[in-house]
Amino acid sequence: MSELLERIAHVVEKGKVNKAAPFPPALKGEDGADELTKRAVEEGIKPQRILNEGLVVGMMKIGVKFKNNEVFVPDVLIAAKAMKAGMKHIEPFFLSKEVEYKGKIVAGTVAGDLHDIGKNILSMILQGGGWEVVDLGIDVSADKFAEAVAEHKPEAVCMSALLTTTMVNMEAVVKKIRETSPETKTIVGGAPLTADFAKKIEADFYSPDPQGALEYLNSECAA
């Protein structure tokens, strides 16, 4: 891996957005994901490599640390911001197909539930892992999930819920997706969920943390 790509991975992991960003203090005054990704593009490194071997590696590292409780939500958020700053320079190449996502995900918080932070973090980690995420927001009904699946043809639907009274609404989504798009995987998560509950509603996969969902997608659904 080139030194520049390693550096990109490092600044993403540390959440260094750009040179002017005040944090992390240890990288004060140094180039961030913004400058380094731009430089990599200018140096002619293939954009797909910049994504896979630079930006995604940085997000993966922070995702694993988050899963292992070595870091907490704020660190994931600044890493995602750094990733986004780098992605700005890669995005034009999606149009020309020089860069491709691993696949597409539809994500949302289920009906009756208004919580979005957990779902947002999930979306960021999946995007950071190289997946395109269509975020349907909060309070998403089974019909809305099904409509989005018909429109976007994702590899998987990711559902989040924060209360036991709302997680039960995942069952209707799983059922609907089974009926209308059997090849689309259903993944569920959120604080009150358990593997037993996921099994009961026949979801394809349950993960207590976003990284687990990403690992499942990478192994089961990536093109």
Partner 1 sequence: MEASGREAVFGAKEFRYELADLNLTRDDVVEEMGYTCEEGNERGYLCDLAEEAAELAKSNVELRGGFVVVEPDRIDIQKGSIQIDDVVFDSQPIITARLRRAEGLALFAATAGDGLEKISKELMSGDDMLKGYVIDAYASAAVEAVADKLEAELERIVEPRGWNVTNRYSPGYCNWSVAEQSKLFSFLPEAFLGITLTATSLMRPIKSVSGVIGVGENVKRQDYQCAVCDMRNCYRRRVVQSKEK
Helices and strands counted in the chain (H then E): 12, 5
Residues 72-91: x/- map of binding to ligand B1M (CB under 6 A)? -x------------------
* CA–CA separation, 98 and 107 (whole Å): 25
Residue 217: phi, psi to the nearest 5? -60, -45
SS3 200: helix
Is the Cβ of residue 73 or residue 222 nearer to ligand B1M in the bound state? 73
Residues 142-181: x/- map of binding to ligand B1M (CB under 6 A)? ----------------xxx-xxx-----------------
> Strands 156-160, 185-189: parallel, antiparallel or unpaired by DSSP?
parallel
Is the Cβ of residue 121 or residue 174 nearer to partner 1 in the bound state? 121
Answer for which of 108, 128, 129, 189 binds ligand B1M (CB under 6 A) is 189
Rule CB under 8 A: is residue 120 a binding residue for partner 1? yes
Maximum CA pair distance of the chain?
54
* CA–CA separation, 214 and 222 (whole Å): 10
Site for partner 1, residues 127 to 186, rule: CB under 8 A: 163-166, 169
CB of 98 to ligand B1M, least distance (A): 30
Residues 6+ apart with CB under 8 A from 165: 112
- Number of other CB atoms surrounding residue 24 within 10 Å: 14
CB of 121 to ligand B1M, least distance (A): 4
Is the Cβ of residue 1 or residue 191 nearer to ligand B1M in the bound state? 191
Residue 44 parent element (H or E): none
Answer for which of 209, 215, 217, 221 binds ligand B1M (CB under 6 A) is 209
Is the Cβ of residue 56 or residue 122 nearer to ligand B1M in the bound state? 122
Given ligand B1M, partner 1, none, residue 113, with its beta carbon under 5 to 8 Å by kind, binds: partner 1
Whats the size of the chain, residue-wise? 223
Residue 213: phi, psi to the nearest 5? -65, -40
Is the Cβ of residue 37 or residue 211 nearer to ligand B1M in the bound state? 211
User: Which residues contribute to the site for ligand B1M (CB under 6 A)?
Assistant: 73, 115, 117-119, 121-122, 158-160, 162-164, 187-192, 207, 209-210, 213
